[in-house]
Amino acid sequence: MEKTKKSLIEEEPFDKFSAESWLKSDLPDFEGTVIERGDDNYEKECYQYASSSYLEEGIIQPAYIIKAKNESDVIKAINYASDKKIAVAIRTGGHQYSGASSTNGNNIQLDLSQTYKDFTWDNEDCTSVTIGISFSLGEFNAKLREKNRFVPHGQCQSVNVGGHVQTGGYGQLARSFGLLADHVEKFRIITADGQARWVVRNFSQDKDLFFAVLGGSPGNFGVLTHITLKVFRDQDYPNSRGLRAVYPYNRQCVKALLDIMVEMTDENFPADYDYTITVLSEPKLHPGLETYDTKYDTKDAPRVYWPPVIIVFAQWANLEGDRQVYDPNFIGKIKQAGGDGQIQVDDDIYTPMSTLTGDWTFPIEREFKLPYVKRVYMSNSSAQRLKDYEWTDWVSGRIDNGNIWDSPDPMVQLTFDLSLSVQIQCYGGLNSRYFQNGKKNLTSFSWRDTNIVCVLDAFYNDAEYDRVREWQQENDKGVGNSDAPFCEYDRRVLWGSHDLDLSANQQYYYDQNPEEKYEKLCKVKQTYDPSGVFTPNRFCIGLPPADSEVDSEMQSKTKKAIEKEVLATKPKERPQLSAKERFWEVVNMKREPGGLIPLWDTWGTSFYNFQRLHDYFTH
């Protein structure tokens, strides 16, 4: 696709970083807190997930952070930005991977983390609910579970509904129920003119805005305040099953589990099944450096420990209710491939869907307190193509390469081991609801014909910077040409972005379904936000690509790596254990107050939320 040279919106507010500085006295009288660049608590307040990785790009430095107390604050902020011709970055949970919920220059950040927390059941049957967007997924999931209700959503409990619903809500129920956004009946949004409106699914007047907000480019069309969702009842899935198992890492096991996933991409595979493989690991040696995260992330959750493990989520949703009989064969194959591990949720017995949605949520704020280089690849390759190109062999090799698992040399370990967070999930097949829901074209999420999504994230310490770059560059060869083992095309998702300039990379994020989708979205933007109040950075639609063609993230990081001296920390000698030995060591380790907590101990009813977990280890 030819790149659009001209800006598709009238103005580019974020580019207007004039030397002129706004005086705080200029600001309207907000009821919520206002933090100004330069204030003592500024760095702590502007911390968000991407701070660890995009600090030097200077893209997470709003002139003011406005923590809106109520809707009046929100409208004042929008009107102020409009008058001053600056832009507003909207942040709810702050989880956007490339920092797009923040801004810099004279622009402001509107923090909605506490603004909209209302929750109302809309009918007696509790199948429709209206919620404010400031809920985290963990809180929202818990509220639904109180009534034995559920809806598909993503897997991180601290992600917030505000951004999550606009980027889709990709999660373990994707094949059986689709995306979170597929179940939105209507949403409430405040647009650049300061007006709030309800936008209703399938209502002709609202069609374009509904389409654009759900999937187009989060935060670019207005401030989302509430959503009304259709939710599901446990009782309609009376025999649902799930498997959550943790296995010690080894490459052959990853490959065997992936081979089963490839078989699952068969077009006729039933929609009841969902299957995700996660590989997590952190090096044996911790350099113990202070990072931006350890310094500024004030959340005092206990330190979760990630020995090299494979975590498997598999589920049978029992979509046809009583009429269906559970066949344990498919999940049985997974158990067999996993081998000797720890089964935490077993498909031998019925588990309600609402419980399973909690079981599929990782109860943590972030994977590792380190900077990251992220990749999400989506593939529409058939099972046959994946086999022909030996993808499972290739990708398990890439994961293995991310770590020098048992190097006898501690210095090698320190320089070459990356902390990995890998997640591979099946989405595909003609029966998949992810695919079926996409055919309605009510939302604008791209790549609905995806069979497998593969996330390869690496977190690194300074000594590993060159290594992480090389690792991801090699992974990139898995997509984007006719011989690539994963997919002929390079297809990316807004929720897992790693680019800083959206327009320059639009062909990776937007498909042609419907044709000229990106241009259509830009037209909606033009209608509702002609002067770019909601264009606070380059990861926004409608802008001309930046001058520099090269991956600016990589460029500046290389510079950083050259400038920094290689870490001089002397690693401690440790007994060398195999990955399997470490796994069982951790499974059996004595729990100490204030000590490390293995990931799986953070799960389950008794440990479900941080507070209880924290209390358990500190009292």
Ligand X SMILES: Cc1cc2nc3c(=O)[nH]c(=O)nc-3n(C[C@H](O)[C@H](O)[C@H](O)COP(=O)(O)OP(=O)(O)OC[C@H]3O[C@@H](n4cnc5c(N)ncnc54)[C@H](O)[C@@H]3O)c2cc1C
Footprint (CB under 6 A) of ligand X, residues 485-514: 495
Task: Decide whether 405 or 610 has the Cβ nearer to ligand X.
Answer: 610
Task: Decide whether 152 or 485 has the Cβ nearer to ligand X.
Answer: 152
Q: Which one of residues 145, 175, 366, 538 is an interface residue with ligand X (CB under 6 A)?
A: 366
Q: Determine the Cα angle at 165 with ends 164 and 169, to 5°.
A: 70
Which residues, listed in sequence order, are joined to residue 350 by a DSSP beta bridge? none
Q: Nearest to residue 217, comparing CAs of 90, 388, 402? A: 90
Minimal distance, residue 53 CB to ligand X, in Å: 11
Task: Decide whether 163 or 485 has the Cβ nearer to ligand X.
Answer: 163
Minimal distance, residue 235 CB to ligand X, in Å: 26
Footprint (CB under 6 A) of ligand X, residues 101-120: 101, 112
594: left (phi over 0), alpha (psi -120 to 50) or beta: left
Sheet holding 33-36, edge to edge: 33-36, 64-67, 108-111, 88-91
Contact map string, positions 12 to 51, toward ligand X, x by CB under 6 A: -------------------------------------x--
Footprint (CB under 6 A) of ligand X, residues 122-151: 133
- Is residue 542 involved in binding ligand X (CB under 6 A)? no
Q: How many CA atoms lie within 13 A of 465 on its CB side?
A: 19
302: left (phi over 0), alpha (psi -120 to 50) or beta: beta
Note the Cα 336 to chain centre separation in Å.
30
Question: Which one of the spans 118-126, 156-164, 332-340, 554-562 is the region binding ligand X (CB under 6 A)?
Answer: 156-164
- Is residue 63 involved in binding ligand X (CB under 6 A)? no
Whether residue 247 contacts residue 344, with contact meaning beta carbons closer than 8 Å, is answered with no
Burial class (CB in 10 A: 0-12, 13-18, 19+), 127: middle
Eight-state DSSP code of residue 362 = B
Burial class (CB in 10 A: 0-12, 13-18, 19+), 225: buried
Task: Decide whether 366 or 582 has the Cβ nearer to ligand X.
Answer: 366
- The first and second tokens of residue 289, run together, are 């450096």
Minimal distance, residue 516 CB to ligand X, in Å: 23
Eight-state DSSP code of residue 303 = P
Buried b (16+ CB within 10 A) or exposed e, 6-24: ebbbeebbbebeeeeebee
Task: Decide whether 161 or 463 has the Cβ nearer to ligand X.
Answer: 161
Question: Which one of the spans 96-104, 202-210, 548-556, 589-597 is the region binding ligand X (CB under 6 A)?
Answer: 96-104
Task: Decide whether 8 or 224 has the Cβ nearer to ligand X.
Answer: 224
- Is residue 154 involved in binding ligand X (CB under 6 A)? yes
Q: Which one of residues 156, 246, 376, 454 is an interface residue with ligand X (CB under 6 A)?
A: 156
Task: Decide whether 4 or 96 has the Cβ nearer to ligand X.
Answer: 96
Whether residue 370 contacts residue 290, with contact meaning beta carbons closer than 8 Å, is answered with no
Q: Pairing relation of β-strands 597-598 and 452-459?
A: unpaired
- Is residue 316 involved in binding ligand X (CB under 6 A)? no
Q: Which one of residues 87, 224, 422, 500 is an interface residue with ligand X (CB under 6 A)?
A: 224
Task: Decide whether 132 or 352 has the Cβ nearer to ligand X.
Answer: 132
Minimal distance, residue 90 CB to ligand X, in Å: 4
- Is residue 360 involved in binding ligand X (CB under 6 A)? no
Question: Which one of the spans 57-65, 218-226, 283-291, 331-339 is the region binding ligand X (CB under 6 A)?
Answer: 218-226
How many whole angstroms separate alpha carbon 175 and alpha carbon 387?
22
Q: Which one of residues 62, 132, 216, 218 is an interface residue with ligand X (CB under 6 A)?
A: 218
How many whole angstroms separate alpha carbon 517 and alpha carbon 495?
18
441: left (phi over 0), alpha (psi -120 to 50) or beta: left
Minimal distance, residue 500 CB to ligand X, in Å: 13
Question: Which one of the spans 83-91, 233-241, 373-381, 440-448 is the region binding ligand X (CB under 6 A)?
Answer: 83-91
Task: Decide whether 455 or 479 has the Cβ nearer to ligand X.
Answer: 455
> Which stretches of 367-412 are assigned E, i.e. beta strand?
372-373, 376-379
Task: Decide whether 65 or 285 has the Cβ nearer to ligand X.
Answer: 65
Q: Which one of residues 68, 90, 345, 579 is an interface residue with ligand X (CB under 6 A)?
A: 90
Residue 276 phi, psi (nearest 5)? -130, 135
Footprint (CB under 6 A) of ligand X, residues 330-359: none
- Is residue 223 involved in binding ligand X (CB under 6 A)? yes
How many whole angstroms separate alpha carbon 403 and alpha carbon 400?
6
Task: Decide whether 48 or 250 has the Cβ nearer to ligand X.
Answer: 48
Task: Decide whether 100 or 500 has the Cβ nearer to ligand X.
Answer: 100
Minimal distance, residue 46 CB to ligand X, in Å: 12
- The first and second tokens of residue 563, run together, are 């400038």
- Is residue 95 involved in binding ligand X (CB under 6 A)? yes
Q: Which one of residues 8, 81, 88, 100 is an interface residue with ligand X (CB under 6 A)?
A: 100
Residue type at position 89: A
Whether residue 363 contacts residue 608, with contact meaning beta carbons closer than 8 Å, is answered with yes
- Is residue 370 involved in binding ligand X (CB under 6 A)? no
Q: Nearest to residue 14, comparing CAs of 87, 67, 110, 74? A: 87
Minimal distance, residue 326 CB to ligand X, in Å: 26
- Is residue 437 involved in binding ligand X (CB under 6 A)? no
Q: Which one of residues 4, 96, 278, 415 is an interface residue with ligand X (CB under 6 A)?
A: 96
The H or E element containing residue 401 is helix 391-401
Whether residue 164 contacts residue 137, with contact meaning beta carbons closer than 8 Å, is answered with yes
Task: Decide whether 296 or 326 has the Cβ nearer to ligand X.
Answer: 296
Minimal distance, residue 72 CB to ligand X, in Å: 16
Footprint (CB under 6 A) of ligand X, residues 159-198: 159-160, 162-164, 166-171
Question: Which one of the spans 90-98, 424-432, 499-507, 593-601 is the region binding ligand X (CB under 6 A)?
Answer: 90-98
Residue 367 phi, psi (nearest 5)? -70, -60
How far is residue 324 from each of residues 66, 237, 272, measured CA to CA in Å?
A: 52, 10, 11
Q: Pairing relation of β-strands 88-91 and 119-121?
A: unpaired
* Number of residues lying near ligand X (CB under 6 A): 34
Footprint of ligand X on this chain (CB under 6 A)?
A: 49, 89-97, 100-101, 112, 133, 154-156, 159-160, 162-164, 166-171, 218-219, 223-224, 366, 495
